[in-house]
Amino acid sequence: MSSFFIKKKLVSSATNKGDLKRKSNTDDGKGRSKKFSKRMNEEISSDSENESADPGRKQQENEEDEIEETPQEKKLRLAKLYLEQLREEEDKKAEEESFEADLIAGRLQEDVLEQKGKLQRLIAKELVAPDPAEIRLLRGHKLPITCLVITPDEKHIFSASKDCSIIKWDVESGKKVLKIAGGRKGTEDCHTAHVLCMAISSDGKYLASGDMNKHIMIWDPETCKHLFKFTGHRGAISGLAFRRGTHTLYSASHDRSIKVWSVDENAYVETLFGHQDAITGLDCLSRERCVTTGGRDRTVRVWKIAEESQLVFHGHEGSIDCVQLINEEHMVTGGDDGAVSIWTVNKKKPLSSVKQAHGVHGAAGLEQPYWVSSVAALHNSDTVASGSHNSSVQLWKCGQGFRGLELLFSVPVNGFVNSLKFSNSGKFLVAGVGQEHRLGRWWRIKEAKNGLYIIPLKRQAKEQEVVQ
């Protein structure tokens, strides 16, 4: 009995003790255990630390909790994203195709206008006179330079002289690359007389040169190796031009004839007659036609090779000494009457003409105009240049429709300007200068230097305006 009561008492005592313990841990008036509250505070503190240590993880967990989509909703969302991506790609592709189409259309339109001779890029208003310090003089010939050509890539210039030599120049460095020396009479593979004219094919494969001895030499422009020789003219070769895009060569001579040659086949094709005096200049572009000046017969002639016909133009008061095509239907000429004239194949008289373009010289009452010894045209533009022996090269702006000529500026060059050429891009102009005229020794300017002047052409703006 006693043991039973003892055990019961112990159990009861233990129970009371536990109650007392629970009571002692209870907060006054709040009914919560202080220990429980402390533990909760510890847990909250721990969670806050985790949040500050890794906020991305908490955000990710929250997002995962928020985004709960079904497989069907996921498929729909991905499908929408894919369609949106496809739409963006199609829009981008359509935009590129539209740009390419506009570009191609613009090029085709320019090609059509060029073939019709109606393309006129208005760049003259952008040109500014170069600083004289920027003009470079390249010297290497012993006698006056008579003609020059610029390679299609504009990296080299070929010049020829009365000393019978041809020099290849590097444009960037201004140094000689190669020289074809003149030879003595009887030499077969080089010139033995004054070289009067040169031409280079539009692909840069062939270089042609003509001399006073009636010979046309064909060279490899890369190596300056002699390839072959054309003979057949009965007078000095005064003009050469390759038809653009082909290896058909036109030659003009003091024998009053024009001959057509196939350089690829090393063959003569045909001869054209019509001029009444020695031909002094020749030029051509891509059409199967060429234009010539007949010196003292005072005519400009356009030869339609395929139709076997010619157009005759009159306008100068003296010998017409030089001609250059501006485009397929317009040309510029100069003569010993001192005039610079612009022509169209649709009219027998000049569209515009400037008399005494380089001024006059001589005693009072006996003034004579300075001869215009060379002209050049920047193809398919409104810019032309002329040279004489009045110590300057003059640049001109053609009016709209090539009606009217306005002087832009003069570039100081001392001596006879026997040849002028624009680079294809219009970045520079090259003048071949000598102490004497290329065809004679009527005057001699002792202080002049025989050489090439490379004249940079600066522009105020890069954009070009094209008119029809």
My answer on whether 334 and 261 are in the same domain is yes
My answer on whether 276 and 416 are in the same domain is yes
Q: What is the sign of the dihedral through the CA atoms of 8, 13, 16 and 17?
A: negative
Tell whether the model's pLDDT for residue 48 goes beyond 60.
no
My answer on whether 7 and 133 are in the same domain is no
Q: Given pLDDT bands bounded at 50, 70 and 90, which one contains residue 40?
A: very low
- Predicted local confidence at residue 365, as pLDDT: 81
* Overall number of domains in the chain: 3
My answer on whether 208 and 257 are in the same domain is yes
Contact assessment for residue 216 and residue 209, using Cβ atoms and an 8 Å cutoff:
yes
Q: Any idea how long the chain is?
A: 468
My answer on whether 208 and 81 are in the same domain is no
- The string of DSSP codes covering 152-172 is TTSSEEEEEETTS-EEEEETT
Burial class of 414 by CB neighbour count within 10 A (0 to 12, 13 to 18, 19+): middle
Tell whether the model's pLDDT for residue 403 goes beyond 50.
yes
Indicate the residue among 60, 92, 108 that finishes a domain.
Answer: 60
- The pair of structure tokens assigned to 197 is 């004219």
My answer on whether 94 and 224 are in the same domain is no
Burial class of 271 by CB neighbour count within 10 A (0 to 12, 13 to 18, 19+): middle
| pTM, 2 dp | 0.75
Q: Given pLDDT bands bounded at 50, 70 and 90, which one contains residue 6?
A: very low
How far apart CA 406 and CA 396 sit, in angstroms, is: 5
What average pLDDT does the segment 182-192 reach? Answer: 86
Contact assessment for residue 195 and residue 210, using Cβ atoms and an 8 Å cutoff:
yes
Average pLDDT taken over every residue of the chain? 84
Q: What percent of the chain has pLDDT over 90?
A: 66
Q: Given pLDDT bands bounded at 50, 70 and 90, which one contains residue 69?
A: confident
Q: What is the CATH number of the domain that holds 438?
A: 2.130.10.10
- The string of DSSP codes covering 366-405 is --EEPP--EEEE-TTBSEEEEE-SSSEEEEEEEPGGG--E
For the chain, the first-to-last Cα distance in angstroms comes to: 134
My answer on whether 268 and 404 are in the same domain is yes
How far apart CA 62 and CA 88 sit, in angstroms, is: 32
Structural domain containing residue 75: 69-116
Q: What DSSP character marks residue 120?
A: E
Angle 315-433-153 (CA atoms, 0-180°, nearest 5)? Answer: 90
Q: By mean pLDDT, which of 107-116, 249-258, 359-368 is the weakest? A: 107-116
My answer on whether 54 and 101 are in the same domain is no
My answer on whether 27 and 86 are in the same domain is no
Q: Given pLDDT bands bounded at 50, 70 and 90, which one contains residue 77?
A: confident
Tell whether the model's pLDDT for residue 31 goes beyond 50.
no
93-140 confidence digits (pLDDT tens): 887 777 777 667 666 666 666 555 566 788 999 999 999 999 999 999
Q: By mean pLDDT, which of 68-77, 406-415, 452-461 is the weakest? A: 68-77
Tell whether the model's pLDDT for residue 188 goes beyond 70.
yes
My answer on whether 329 and 463 are in the same domain is yes
pLDDT: is 23 or 82 the higher one? 82
What average pLDDT does the segment 226-243 reach? Answer: 96
My answer on whether 142 and 226 are in the same domain is yes
Tell whether the model's pLDDT for residue 17 goes beyond 70.
no
My answer on whether 321 and 295 are in the same domain is yes
